[in-house]
Amino acid sequence: LDPAADHATPPIMVLFKKVSRENEPMHAGGWQANVSEGLNGKTLGILGLGKLGARVAKFGLALEMDVIAWSENLTQERCGEVGVRLVDKETLFKTSDVISIHLILGDRSRGLVGQNELEMMKTSAYLVNTSRGPIVDEKALVAGLQDGKLAGAGLDVYDVEPLPVDHPLRALDNAILTGHTGYVIEELYHLVYGEAVENIAAWSKGEPLRLLNPPS
């Protein structure tokens, strides 16, 4: 199961196809309130090409997008395995029509997407973050969305969680927001809680399962 990777793909579709903006007027009795965009031929930038980033990259390839990738230690060999093009950081931010972030949070990734990087992006581009909030400078992102320097964003993670009720992101119609639900799927709950019950039952019998440090 890769629910976090799966969760990155709906915001891409929603942002390009204007699904959320079309949904509200339809429920209000309207019709065709927006003009959507196609994904074919658009450039998908993957920031971090590990297991999750590779899965999202394959989604883009299936839709015939031009998929490019960058991270600090990313190799040409890895990009070749996934079938995407390796580019430098500046090219990723300047040429992508949508960037999807797939990095772990650490000293090198904290604040990696800051004001300078956001200003490199096209005003028609989108940013999707389903990894960790602090990878992106949230204040700079809010300012970019408010000023129209960025077309939109799809976010599942934030600096402070739960997201404060009065947070400015909640007032932006070009921000697609979910509440850190990338991992929240029925199948995973069945798997995780089922294994937890098995672990407890096995431990009570003196036959523990799934040991992190099994005896040699």
Would you call 110 a catalytic residue per the annotation? no
Nearest by Cα to 184 from 112, 144, 130 = 130
Would you call 210 a catalytic residue per the annotation? no
Residues 145, 153 contacting (CB under 8 angstroms)? yes
What is residue 176's three-state secondary structure? strand
Exactly one of 78, 85, 167, 180 is catalytic; which is it? Answer: 180
Exactly one of 55, 117, 132, 138 is catalytic; which is it? Answer: 132
Exactly one of 161, 170, 190, 195 is catalytic; which is it? Answer: 161
Residues 91, 65 contacting (CB under 8 angstroms)? no
Q: Does the bond joining 10 to the residue before it have cis omega, within 30 degrees of 0?
A: no
Would you call 132 a catalytic residue per the annotation? yes
Nearest by Cα to 69 from 103, 37, 29, 120 = 103
Q: What sign does the dihedral 32-36-138-3 (CA atoms) show? A: positive
Active site residues: 132, 161, 180
